[in-house]
């Protein structure tokens, strides 16, 4: 009677506990996710209008675009309905698991009972054999063999003239699925923690410059707003990144400053970061980059607290904020410094920092060099044989130096950074072009994600859960030992029946091994026993 | 001999193996079956040798530019799983491996007729897609151990899904009775499209001279037929395809008869279909999704950014999770789950190739 009354609560519960809902949610998530992989997310409107024009024609594309924007397709994975689907997914997962857990728990805990021999013979896995020995020896050896395979016999029952042994192992593996489900929820929690308490920004930092903030994504800013932002950043730098000092210097309260930070997508770091240099290493003789590197220094309270060369896949973390090498580029209109290392034939060495047009003497000689030219990417045109600059980026930087020597007279030469042999002068002294410093910026991805450890732990839990759920199984077996006499000979008939929640073949093989181990020992015993 | 010689030998053996497997199904002669298996094993050994040689070469290649690397680091960076070409080759290798294991475990050869065409498809695709085959330097983002394990496990997972797909197709063919059944139409279209793509790539392959093939830098996929510059050829291709699907639909029941006369049972096919997924799903979830996310986090500081490749991996995962739930919780059986297994592999193909060919993404696996 009690059961027939279904309250609203029961109905809602049943709705969320149903696996049919799971299936619907899976289909819904899978099919809607496709949209976001076709329409470029968070892109400039023009990009997607162009894409839509291919399907709907030029004239209707803008209308379709506007409808898509209203439906949230342009930032789909953050739209209200997609997030709702994810919430539905989690609620379903939690309630469904809670609903089923007690049943599974009972399966795990259920004690094994002896079975009738006829039933045992109908089990999915069966095996029969006969062995010449006494009942007691057979029982002892089978027990030993079982326990060496970690089957601990829970109980045995003596029947008319026979013994039944039964055992199970791996009952807990039935919980693997629940572990998988739990880990999915943990991943969601980790993602929420990250979204709530973390941030994801970027910073383009020229060589030799410092910053105490990172940028977040914002709506496009007007010109006046941009100007205000520039001014704020300048004051922030002169206040050495100190937020309360910045507010004071700007003559506003900290609350207002925070609001402005938010609007302009400025994220104060709480310390200062400097890019000492950025460098690209290439695979020899090619323009394929092998490694991008930046040397970063963290300054806190006017002290250098950390210095590290970061590479792609090897970021720097300080106070929970991580700096990833993500891009690079040229600073517009920058004037850099040429860093040269000059070595004379006598071995005297000197490192020089020079501006364009400046001169230097090669130590121990009367040869004077003057920097007269620069190319970020020098090459010889294969057709004309002329020297050309083939890229705006510093792919193959070269410095043009005019030499003036009392013996050799005046001559001009190109020294390439990636090919040090170009810097050997006729008299044997060498000039190494170390860097044209101060013209490149390093593009850093700056982020803090306190949820990421949660995600890692959840991933490990998921991997373990998946392993248990798919590669381990709950195995039960029953063995009947029945003595048989035919004339003089005494033997024992062993009948095994078993079932496994998965991987029946492996279970079959295990049973075979258990039996053959027991029978081998018994055969080994026999001669000793007879004599 | 060089790595590519061994590889070409293995490709030849697999394609010949496919033909022999199919004739085995048609003539049911035991010796033909043995020949098919032997050819496949021969190809597999040859490909394994090619794989090792390539690994050694690329080890020296890496060491040449980074002499200071340790042995282990160089070995990991040199693992030939680094671009579209190498991953396709590895996919073929894993597929054949999983297939051979299943063949020996279930003592049945017929499945080869359904799995080797998948390998042939991948091999032909390698040749017409214009992916660079030389050992290439690794760009910085790809220099990560996580990436290596990610690729390794994903492709083993894909291979297991591929075998499951073969079994599901065979299963569906065996259980459909009449030509008006929806499932019958479904399988004739799927098998039709599959064979059409195979044939179209064969035509691509033949229409290219050996020299052109060698210097192919642009994607030539279906350029000789559906994507031809001549409108007439395109039209003919479509008409021929529709006719081809019709023929399969019309005479498909014959295929069923052949299968039924072999020692294949629907139970066994269902089991292989499930086994493939039971192996593929955990491998793909751990290797594909989790390790991919860890790699993304170490390279870009974001473990999940909904880029198309990631999203399609997730979709794949959803489809297979759907399969498992439908089968084990809702008790679906037979055709319905087989259709899910087929859909799953279609999403695998899209995740793997479609995203690169059709959509763009952050990932470096774009060979087009
Ligand atoms: C809406 C969310 C989900 C719900 C409500 C749900 C529910 C369930 C339930 C009730 C079972 C059966 C447990 C039993 O044996 O009694 C199950 C099995 C399973 N679930 Fe989920 N699940 C969800 C999401 C997922 C996801 C996202 C995954 C994959 C990552 C997953 C993986 C599995 C697997 C692998 C099984 C086992 C199937 C088998 O027996 O082989 N589940 N799920």
- Alpha-carbon torsion, ordered A147, A150, A156, A160, to 10 deg: -70
Q: What total of structural domains would you count in chain B?
A: 1
Are B301 and A445 within 8 A, CB to CB? yes
Touching check for B189 and chain A: CB below 8 Å? Answer: no
The pLDDT-based confidence of B210 (bands split at 50, 70, 90) is low
- Atom 11, ligand 1: residue with shortest CA distance: B329
Is B115 a member of any domain?
yes
Cross-strand pairs, A496: A127, A479
Q: Is residue A90 in contact with ligand 1, taking CB distance under 6 Å?
A: no
Question: What is the sign, positive or negative, of the torsion defined by CA atoms of B345, B351, B354, B357?
Answer: negative
CA distance A310 to chain B (A): 11
pLDDT recorded at residue A315:
92
Identify which of B289, B324, B330, B332 to mutate to test ligand 1's pocket (most ligand atoms within 8 A of the CB): B324
Query: Which residues make Cβ contacts (< 8 Å) with residue A464, sequence separation at least 6?
Result: A179
Is B264 a member of any domain?
no
pLDDT over 70 for what percent of chain A?
98
What is the chain A residue with the closest CA to B147?
A: A313
pLDDT (mean) for B186-192? 89
Of A530, A430, A524, A531, which Cα lies nearest the Cα of A131? A524
Predicted model pTM: 0.84
Which residues does chain B have within 8 Å of residue A461's beta carbon, measured at their own beta carbons?
none
What is the chain B residue with the closest CA to A311?
A: B140
Of A449, A498, A444, which Cα lies nearest the Cα of A476? A498
Closest Cβ–Cβ partner in A30, A290, A455 for B65:
A290
Q: What is the pLDDT of residues A198-240, one digit of tens each?
A: 898 999 999 998 888 899 877 778 888 888 888 888 888 888 7
Is B74 a member of any domain?
yes
Of A214, A193, A187, A217, which Cα lies nearest the Cα of A324? A214
Is B17 a member of any domain?
yes
Of A322, A314, A191, which Cα lies nearest the Cα of B146? A314
Mean pLDDT score across all residues of chain A: 85
> In angstroms, what is the span from residue A468 Cα to ligand 1's centroid?
13
Is B30 a member of any domain?
yes
Backbone angles phi, psi at A432, to 5 degrees: -100, 130
User: Which letter does DSSP use for residue B290 in this model?
Assistant: I
Please spell the DSSP secondary structure of A306-329, one letter per residue. Answer: EEEEEETTB-EEETTEEEEEEEEE
The ipTM of this complex is 0.83
Is B168 a member of any domain?
no
Query: Which residues make Cβ contacts (< 8 Å) with residue A107, sequence separation at least 6?
Result: A171, A174, A474
Q: What is the pLDDT of residues A271-311, one digit of tens each?
A: 999 999 999 888 877 788 888 999 999 998 888 999 999 99
Mean pLDDT score across all residues of chain B: 83
Q: Is residue B286 in contact with ligand 1, taking CB distance under 6 Å?
A: no
The pLDDT-based confidence of B368 (bands split at 50, 70, 90) is very low
Is B252 a member of any domain?
no
Q: What is the pLDDT of residues B6-59, one digit of tens each?
A: 888 888 888 888 888 888 887 878 888 888 889 889 999 988 998 898 899 888
Identify the domain containing residue B56 by its residue range: 1-138
The pLDDT-based confidence of A400 (bands split at 50, 70, 90) is very high
What is the chain A residue with the closest CA to B106?
A: A505
> In angstroms, what is the span from residue A84 Cα to ligand 1's centroid?
20
Q: What is the pLDDT of residues A424-481, one digit of tens each?
A: 888 888 899 998 988 999 999 999 988 888 899 999 999 999 999 888 888 999 898 8
pLDDT recorded at residue B364:
41
Element of type H or E holding A116: none
Is B353 a member of any domain?
no
């Amino acid at each position: 009677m009690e059961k027939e009354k279904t309250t609203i609560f029961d109905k809602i519960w049943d709705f969320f506990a149903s696996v049919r809902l799971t299936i619907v949610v899976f289909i819904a998530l899978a099919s809607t996710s496709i949209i976001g992989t076709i329409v470029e997310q968070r892109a400039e409107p023009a990009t997607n209008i162009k894409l839509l024009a291919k399907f709907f024609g030029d004239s209707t594309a803008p209308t379709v675009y506007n409808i898509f924007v209203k439906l949230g397709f342009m930032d789909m994975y953050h739209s209200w309905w997609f997030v709702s689907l994810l919430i539905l997914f989690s609620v379903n997962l939690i309630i469904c698991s809670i609903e089923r857990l007690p049943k599974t728990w009972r399966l795990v805990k259920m004690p094994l009972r002896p079975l009738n021999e006829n039933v045992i013979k109908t089990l999915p896995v069966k095996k029969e054999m006969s062995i010449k020995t006494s009942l007691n020896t057979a029982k002892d050896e089978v027990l030993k063999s079982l326990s060496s395979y970690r089957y601990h016999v829970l109980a045995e029952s003596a029947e008319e003239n026979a013994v039944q042994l039964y055992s199970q192992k791996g009952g807990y593996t039935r919980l693997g699925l629940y572990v998988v489900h739990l880990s999915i929820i943990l991943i969601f929690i980790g993602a929420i923690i990250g979204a709530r308490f973390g941030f994801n920004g970027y910073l383009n930092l020229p060589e030799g410059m410092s910053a105490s903030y990172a940028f977040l994504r914002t709506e496009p800013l007007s010109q006046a707003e941009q100007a205000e932002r520039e001014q704020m950043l300048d004051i922030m730098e002169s206040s050495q990144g100190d937020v309360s000092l910045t507010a004071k210097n700007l003559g506003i309260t900290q609350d207002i400053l925070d609001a402005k930070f938010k609007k302009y997508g400025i994220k104060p770091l709480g310390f200062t970061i400097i890019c000492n240099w950025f460098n690209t290493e290439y695979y020899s003789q090619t323009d394929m980059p092998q490694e991008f590197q930046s040397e970063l220094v963290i300054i806190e309270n006017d002290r250098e607290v950390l210095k590290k060369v970061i590479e792609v896949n090897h970021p720097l973390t300080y106070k929970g904020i991580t700096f990833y090498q993500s891009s690079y580029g040229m600073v517009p209109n920058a004037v850099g410094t040429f860093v040269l290392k000059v070595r004379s034939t006598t071995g005297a060495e000197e490192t020089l920092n020079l501006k364009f047009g400046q001169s230097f003497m090669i130590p121990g000689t009367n040869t004077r060099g003057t920097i007269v030219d620069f190319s970020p990417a020098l090459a010889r045109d294969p057709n004309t044989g002329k020297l050309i600059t083939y890229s705006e980026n510093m792919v193959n930087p070269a410095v043009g130096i005019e030499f003036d020597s009392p013996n050799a007279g005046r001559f001009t030469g190109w020294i390439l950074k990636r090919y040090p042999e170009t810097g050997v002068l006729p008299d044997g002294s060498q000039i190494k072009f170390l860097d044209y410093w101060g013209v490149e910026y390093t593009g850093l991805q700056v982020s803090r994600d306190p949820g990421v450890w949660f995600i890692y732990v959840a991933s490990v839990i998921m991997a373990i859960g998946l392993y248990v759920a798919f590669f381990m199984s709950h195995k039960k077996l029953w063995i009947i030992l029945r003595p048989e006499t035919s004339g003089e000979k005494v033997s024992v008939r062993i009948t095994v029946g078993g079932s496994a929640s998965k991987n029946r073949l492996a279970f079959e093989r295990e049973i075979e091994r258990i039996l053959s181990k027991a029978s081998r020992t018994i055969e080994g015993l026999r001669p000793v026993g007879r004599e | 001999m060089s790595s590519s010689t061994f590889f070409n030998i293995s490709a030849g053996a697999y394609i010949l193996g496919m033909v022999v497997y199919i004739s085995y199904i048609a003539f049911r002669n035991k010796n033909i079956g043995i020949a098919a298996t032997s050819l496949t094993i021969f190809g597999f050994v040859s490909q394994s040798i090619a794989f090792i040689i390539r690994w050694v070469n690329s080890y020296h290649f890496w060491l040449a530019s980074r002499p200071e690397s340790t042995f282990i680091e160089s070995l990991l960076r040199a693992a030939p799983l680094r671009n579209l070409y190498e991953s396709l080759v590895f996919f073929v290798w894993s597929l054949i491996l999983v297939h051979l294991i299943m063949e020996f475990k279930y003592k049945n050869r017929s499945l080869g007729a359904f799995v080797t065409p998948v390998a042939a498809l991948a091999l032909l695709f390698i040749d017409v897609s214009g992916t660079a085959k030389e050992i290439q330097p690794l760009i910085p983002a790809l220099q990560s151990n996580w990436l290596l394990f990610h690729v390794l496990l994903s492709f083993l997972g894909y291979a297991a899904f591929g075998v499951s797909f073969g079994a599901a197709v065979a299963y569906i063919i065996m259980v459909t009775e009449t030509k008006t059944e929806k499932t019958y139409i479904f399988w004739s279209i799927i098998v039709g499209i599959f064979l059409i793509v195979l044939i179209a790539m064969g035509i691509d392959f033949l229409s290219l001279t050996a020299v052109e093939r060698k210097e192919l830098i642009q994607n030539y996929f279906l350029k000789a037929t559906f994507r031809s510059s001549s409108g007439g050829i395109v039209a003919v291709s479509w008409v021929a395809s529709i006719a081809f699907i019709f023929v399969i639909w019309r005479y498909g029941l014959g295929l069923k008869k052949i299968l039924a006369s072999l020692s294949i049972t629907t139970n066994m096919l269902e089991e292989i279909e499930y086994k493939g997924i039971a192996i593929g799903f955990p491998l793909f979830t751990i290797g594909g999704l989790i390790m991919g996310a860890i790699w993304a986090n170490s390279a870009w500081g974001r473990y999940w950014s909904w880029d198309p490749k990631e999203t399609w991996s997730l979709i794949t995962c959803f489809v297979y999770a759907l399969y498992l739930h439908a089968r084990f919780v809702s008790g679906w059986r037979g055709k319905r789950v087989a259709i899910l297994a087929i859909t799953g592999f279609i999403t695998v193909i899209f995740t793997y190739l479609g995203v690169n060919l059709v959509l763009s993404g952050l990932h470096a696996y774009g060979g087009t």
